[in-house]
Structure 1
């Protein structure tokens, strides 16, 4: 099982994959990906991710989560509101046996997405509620933390969360090291290869706390080109280069880290 890649954060249920999902899955397997940890952003996606697990039970490891930003029926994203979580809560409990994590959850304090204090308060209330569900169901969390790295880690520690993946982490190395102390893991998508901005961060986080992700269909090597799970090889090579170790080492250690964090993904 551990001789392949684990894509720790992927939106395989996104509409961008509906047309050619079978081909995408085939390319994923050919690239050596053994597990795709499939996160959701809204309750409308929950059924789709379960269908994908039924279709590809040895590959797709489902998560349920309500993202801190919601589409709001239009092109503009808006901050999540407590009522966005209402329909989701019973589903977490109904499908608890099939879930490997609660995610994608978190905080996004980007000014144009959360312009008012009320937006941040609403996000925090939804985040804390989902952290408490994760603890109750004994599941790890798959976490988004844009423009909110320190407060996200602080909140999780305050809520007694011990198992978390901070995906596409872009906070300061000093903040990341607080997360390392708490036992959290950090994952990086192909987009990190576009610039050298996160080299220092990746260098300072121990390899035992790093996972690989694609965040497909977003965060690929080219900004406006659809990303796929097969591109997991790109951050693997990039991290290997920064750490001065082989790609095989990064592949092996990140997969072990992933299965340690998401033990139920092993049996998917």
Structure 2
């Protein structure tokens, strides 16, 4: 079986990849990664991911979003609708190129840990809005809350770092494989906090999910790839 992974959430426009992005993506390809969804944290990255998608057509797919927390230190603040308005023309300009909208969400903690304090509200809000196609990345909510998302048709993705916490194992056991995707969230959330994470490490997520569920990594790879293709219709591999 050919190795075909899809990294559904990575930050290729991050400064950590500026010097060697070509090598990083080559390693990912050698690992078996067939497509990467490159998300943004701010509008300043929009053009950068578009350029990456042009440099690596059919491999890097742009995803525009505004992180719910902006700034750092004393300047850290929650994003408001008016913060997005100046950049709406960019969404319009590239609407035919982006595969999804993200990174977006709710963040109720002071330390930018997504959905750890907002999972229930996030899922409830999306259901109220009638959203049926959504990926909750690096999900860390309760299994009972996750099942509400499963019932709504949402998907969940997990980076390599989840293999370090038993709490995530309980969550992964309960979520049906048909609602799971793979991600690295690179350059963050690798096995070692002090080592840059890369898309090529998608195999770590795959193997951990397989171990937790008691199935083969090949099955996890195949099902999660099909899940991603269904979730992101514009992905072509």
Asked whether the two chains share a fold, i.e. TM above 0.5, the reply is: yes
| Partner residue, 2:10 | 10
Tell me, yes or no, if structure 1 residue 203 matches structure 2 residue 173.
yes
| Partner residue, 1:24 | 24
User: Aligned partners of 1:22 and 1:113: how far apart in 2?
Assistant: 29
Unaligned 5+ runs, structure 2? none
User: Aligned partners of 2:125 and 2:147: how far apart in 1?
Assistant: 15
Q: Does the 8 Å contact 1:79/1:113 carry over to 2? A: no
How far did 1:88 drift? 1.8
TM-score by length of 1: 0.84
User: Aligned partners of 1:230 and 1:79: how far apart in 2?
Assistant: 32
Unaligned 5+ runs, structure 1? 115-143
**3-state secondary structure, aligned to 1:28:** helix
| Partner residue, 1:128 | none
Tell me, yes or no, if structure 1 residue 84 matches structure 2 residue 83.
yes
| Partner residue, 2:42 | 42
| Partner residue, 2:227 | 257
Of the three residues 117, 120, 144, the one matched with 1:150 is 120
| Partner residue, 1:213 | 183
User: Aligned partners of 2:225 and 2:112: how far apart in 1?
Assistant: 33
For residues 123-150 of structure 1, give each alpha carbon's deviation from its aligned partner in whole angstroms, at most 9, with x where no partner exists.
xxxxxxxxxxxxxxxxxxxxx5231000
User: Aligned partners of 1:51 and 1:112: how far apart in 2?
Assistant: 30
User: Aligned partners of 2:101 and 2:161: how far apart in 1?
Assistant: 24
**3-state secondary structure, aligned to 1:166:** strand
Of the three residues 128, 138, 145, the one matched with 1:175 is 145
